[in-house]
């Protein structure tokens, strides 16, 4: 990333509707083409591109799209409500012991990959019973095609999944221990997203689109109402799932460091795949952030890098030029398949030296080299966020 470039810059061929906090020459052509196609949609007010930008399905990851009385489900992504959570603990670096045993305890408490909880009642001891019951009490109002998935959705609440999702223990610059995690809405969010994307593609006003993946719903229609209803539920589910995992993680930490009487600060819990109704340039618009966070003035957030480079805790500057947004992470610089072709388990072990984590072939696609340099990504958006601190990963759980 060219640090000498003054951001933002307009994307060529976008009629200045796309403003980028990234060097166009360093972004894949497929991603640039996606951005131009989004900007050409008649409902789009503008597009803002974050420094972690890379190609996605339908809409680009690392993009913020403001639309007038319309929304594209693909501009949200299939992992509705995906986001991160973080909390600082009272533990100091010199008090850390037996991280291998702690990782085993966390993996036992929080199902990863395709695993799920056997039952939900045992999880309600963390004071979330009323919220959980209310959340699933509304399940019958969701799209009828997902009704059979209720038991699966219940079991997957408070579970990690796979891919780039993680549970981490980190150290800040004062050697204080942090708990961080990254997760989404699991299978139920993907199913709802796929269902509504399919419905949007069938609508007559979308039939002339160059890319039908960008099909939109229009305000005031029953299809839009149904999508927003399910969307808000999935975003709430994802946030509740992170809160539950954080509680389970904290419980594992408390039990592991029982003699320390561990204390925790207030948590950070933010979406980076979601829709919000906001005022942009003096207009009430629907804003989709796909791989981007809200960075309003004073907003605290976490911007993770990779399992070898840690994360940044940031505070939003409230820059209206970016639609009050910032990047959601480092962003991939190569696909998962490319990473698997280029790197081995030995490479992964070398790049994660000193970190208690999986180092096998099953997570080679998450190797740090597959991601952009998180430090450069943060540098490129100094006008969007203020750095509160850098967190160095010491333990990482992957699905």
| Residue stretches of the annotated binding site for Mn(2+) | 79, 165, 182, 272
Q: Where does the chain show beta strands of DSSP type E?
A: 9-10, 18-20, 44-54, 61-67, 70-71, 83-92, 166-171, 176-183, 217-218, 268-271, 273-280, 283-290, 292-294, 300-304, 311-316, 325-327, 385-398
Binding site for GMP, by residue number, is 164-168, 272-273, 304-307, 311, 328-331, 398
Tokens coding 371: 């991601």
Judge contact between 55 and 61, C-beta under 8 A: yes
CA 52 – CA 373 distance, rounded (Å): 9
- Residues serving a catalytic function are 328
Judge contact between 231 and 85, C-beta under 8 A: no
Judge contact between 27 and 54, C-beta under 8 A: yes
Residue linked to tokens 């038991």:
151
Judge contact between 222 and 99, C-beta under 8 A: no
Task: Report the Cα–Cα distance between both ends of the chain, in Å, rounded.
Answer: 30
Closest C-alpha among 308, 291, 303 to residue 367: 308
Binding site, by residue number, is 79, 164-168, 182, 272-273, 304-307, 311, 328-331, 398
């Amino acid at each position: 990333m060219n640090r000498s470039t003054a951001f933002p810059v307009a994307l060529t061929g976008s009629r200045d509707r796309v403003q980028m906090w990234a060097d166009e020459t360093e972004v894949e052509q497929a991603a640039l083409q996606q951005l131009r196609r989004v900007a050409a949609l008649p409902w789009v007010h503008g597009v803002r591109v974050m420094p972690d930008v890379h190609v996605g399905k339908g809409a680009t990851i690392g993009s913020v799209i403001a639309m007038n009385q319309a929304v594209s489900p693909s501009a949200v992504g299939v992992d509705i409500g995906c986001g991160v959570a973080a909390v600082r603990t009272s533990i100091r670096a010199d008090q850390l012991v037996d991280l291998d045993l702690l990782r085993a305890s966390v993996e036992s408490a929080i199902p990863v990959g395709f695993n799920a909880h056997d039952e939900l009642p045992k999880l309600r001891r963390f004071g979330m019973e009323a919220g959980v019951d209310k959340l699933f009490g509304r399940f019958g109002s969701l799209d009828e095609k997902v009704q059979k998935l209720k038991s699966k959705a219940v079991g997957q609440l408070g579970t990690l999944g796979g891919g780039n999702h993680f549970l981490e223990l980190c150290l800040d610059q004062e050697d204080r221990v942090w708990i961080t995690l990254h997760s989404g809405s699991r299978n139920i969010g993907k199913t709802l997203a796929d269902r509504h994307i399919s419905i949007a593609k069938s609508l007559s006003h979308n039939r002339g689109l160059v890319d039908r993946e960008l099909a939109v719903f229009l305000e005031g229609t029953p299809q839009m109402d149904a999508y927003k209803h399910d969307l808000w539920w999935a975003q709430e589910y994802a946030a509740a799932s992170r809160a539950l995992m954080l509680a389970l993680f904290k419980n594992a930490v408390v039990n592991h460091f029982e003699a320390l009487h561990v204390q925790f600060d207030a948590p950070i819990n933010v979406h980076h795949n979601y829709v919000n109704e906001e005022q942009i340039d003096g207009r009430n618009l629907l804003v989709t952030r796909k791989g981007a966070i809200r960075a309003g003035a004073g907003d605290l957030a976490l911007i993770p890098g990779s399992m070898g480079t840690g994360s940044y805790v940031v505070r939003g500057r409230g820059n209206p030029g970016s639609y009050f947004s910032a990047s959601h992470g480092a962003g991939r610089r190569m696909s998962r398949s490319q990473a698997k072709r280029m790197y081995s388990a030995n490479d992964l072990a070398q790049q994660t030296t000193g970190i208690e984590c999986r180092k096998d072939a099953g997570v080679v696609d998450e190797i740090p080299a597959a991601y952009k340099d998180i430090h450069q990504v943060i540098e490129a958006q100094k006008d969007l966020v203020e750095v509160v601190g850098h967190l160095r990963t010491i333990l990482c759980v992957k699905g």
